[in-house]
Amino acid sequence: MQRLLTAADDTPRSPLVITPGCPQAHKQAGADLGFLDRHGVLTRGLREVMTHHILFLFNRLGISAADTWLLATAAVHVTFHHPFDTQTGYQPAGTTDSRVNAVNTSPTESGTSSAAVLRDQLVGTLEQRGHIRSATVERAFRTVPRERFLPGVDLETVYTRRQIVTKRDPNGAALSSASSPSLVADMLEQLAPRPGHRVLEIGAATGINAALLAELTSPGGKVVTIELDQDLADGARASLGRAGYDTVEVIRGDGALGHPAHAPYDRIVVTAGAWDISAGWWDQLADDGRIVVPLRVHESGLTRCFAFDRTAPHQLVGTTTPLVCGFVPMRGTAAHTDHHVRLDADVVLKLDATDQPDRAALSSALSHPRLERWTGIQVSDADPIGHLDLWLLVHTDRPFGRLGVGDTARTSGLVTPAYRWAGAAIYHGATIAYLAFQDVGNGHHELGAIAHGPDATTLATDLTNLLDQWDEAGRPNQPTVTAQRAGTRPAERGGISRSDTVLTISF
């Protein structure tokens, strides 16, 4: 970053010439930041990122901390308190409802924002971005003190819109976390619990979600939350008690089994990546109940959070648009291992073992040169096309997979999948083809395929043909999803079979 900021021009010795990949990497980083911010998973807000760059420049220019404070205060005042122009009708973005604070507005205010202020700011952001849509969910978010459930975590982090990992295994993999508030709000809107409802939560974690559910089902409701690990269950119980939610029942047990003692449940919500809708959940959901569950619909880890209503004893029907999401996988009896093939030190192809991949052949795919095919189909980040990867899974005749690509492989240009759809790809033998973007300006990208392997031309053509079909069909983004209890009727062609459930997805 320093080399770029100090580059004056494109002279032969300029960093812009010596490291020609830096400007494009910087541009791509900006695009990625924008995408992450729009989807509520950015660790730090865009304004915070830009502020650090500005402060870096101020420091390099020798501007004092006092003068920086004056500039920031003036900028906030001008940007967010400029009067509405009645002649032109122009009103700068955020003039009436922005909750953005000045950067270092005084030497004594830094880091002392109260939890209540930060909570209101978070709720405002979640409303603005469409994650909170109902008055009941808004009230619950404004009421529950998140900081009581995350002891030892600073307030700024507690009230960010990102996941906070609270427990890891010895290898560093996440075992439990406080989910992103954006996703929590989305799932509560899907669940739509009401006062008096009995709710079963699978995955207590910190207890935050159980507290929100207690608010939403009060008065007269009952919330039962299950956690596999004793330490997590104890921690959630203690936090709920500190926050005044002592009516929530915390159970240490295997979530896949549910808790029949308080069944039937009007609502069941699962806060871990599930491989199946378990028999226990089928048995314990009320006749007119709803279950919200993040289902891994493919062994590559492709996951969607579905809201299912029970329409018959052995049938569930999806009622809302599924959420694109990622969750810590369920453990216990419902644990399921994903499979992958390593293509490079920094690249893996996640796939389904039932497709019987030729692992040895696939591992050599990236030794072949890349072949690019572009479709002319243009998309933007704002387009509602988040389920393209799910559409491909349903419609392709080739085995489906997803590329896991590290920073080194991406920045070197070895593998450059589109930053949406988590590296969605198809493969055959020793060849892979994956979804790719190329920038065409004005915030738009052209969709295409990049292939590696001896049959690169064939697979790239297959993938671009699928993209043409998707485009000609009107870019469908609303899947119809039905879950049937396994063994209750013959499986339909194309059904996704699990031990307890057969899932049918169509567009």
3-class DSSP state of 412: coil
Active-site residue, 134 included? no
Are residues 322 and 196 located together in one domain of the fold? yes
Question: Do 154 and 71 sit in the same domain of this protein?
Answer: no
Residue 484 lies in a domain: no
User: Which of the listed residues 111, 145, 163 is the one where a domain comes to its end?
Assistant: 111
Distance CA 429, CA 455 (A): 9
C-alpha neighbours within 13 Å on the C-beta side of residue 266: 16
Q: Are both 307 and 240 inside the same structural domain? A: yes
For residues 145 and 185, membership in a common domain is answered with yes
Task: Identify the CA nearest to 368 among candidates 468, 458, 465.
Answer: 458
Domain co-membership, 324 together with 368: no
- Which domain, by its residues, includes 44? 2-111
Same domain, 168 and 204: yes
Upstream peptide bond of 219 is cis (omega within 30 degrees of 0): yes
CA 107 to chain centre: 36
Phi and psi for 104 in degrees, rounded to 5?
Answer: 50, 50
Is 479 domain-assigned?
no
Give whole-number Cα distances, 302 to 157, 191, 323, in Å: 28, 21, 12
- Here the CATH number for the domain that contains residue 140 is 3.40.50.150
CA distances from residue 416 to 341, 365, 431 in whole angstroms, order as listed? 18, 15, 16
- pLDDT, one tens digit for every residue, the chain (507 residues): 555 556 665 566 666 666 666 666 667 777 777 777 666 666 666 666 677 777 767 776 778 777 777 777 777 666 555 443 333 333 333 333 333 333 333 333 433 358 899 999 999 999 999 999 999 999 999 999 999 999 888 888 999 888 888 888 887 778 888 889 999 999 999 999 999 999 999 999 999 999 999 999 999 999 999 999 999 999 999 999 999 998 899 999 999 999 999 999 999 999 999 999 999 999 999 999 999 999 999 999 999 999 999 999 999 999 988 999 988 889 999 998 888 999 999 999 999 999 999 999 999 999 999 999 999 999 999 999 999 999 999 999 999 999 999 988 998 999 999 989 989 999 999 999 999 999 999 889 999 999 999 999 999 999 999 999 999 999 999 999 999 999 998 766 778 999 999 999 999
Secondary structure element (H or E) that encloses residue 119, with its range: helix 115-128
Domains identified in the chain, total number: 3
- Do 354 and 315 lie in one domain? The reply is no
Residue 17, in any domain of the structure: yes
The answer on 142 and 100 residing in a single domain is no
What number of helices (H) and strands (E) belong to the chain? 16, 20
Find the catalytic residue in 176, 177, 179, 180: 179
Domain edge (last residue) among 291, 319, 334: 334
Domain membership of residue 485 (yes or no) is: no
Locate tokens 């900028």: which residue? 75
Asked if 362 and 249 sit in the same domain, the reply is no
| 178 domain residue, yes or no | yes
* Residues 312 and 349 grouped into a single domain: no
Asked whether residue 430 is domain-assigned, the answer is: yes
Q: Report the alpha-carbon distance of residue 52 to residue 48 in Å, rounded.
A: 6
Task: Let me know whether 409 and 352 are in one domain.
Answer: yes
Report if residue 48 sits inside a domain. yes
Domain membership flag for residue 487: no
Same-domain pairing of 380 and 319: no
- Three-state SS at 190: helix
Nearest to 434 by CA among 71, 447, 411: 447
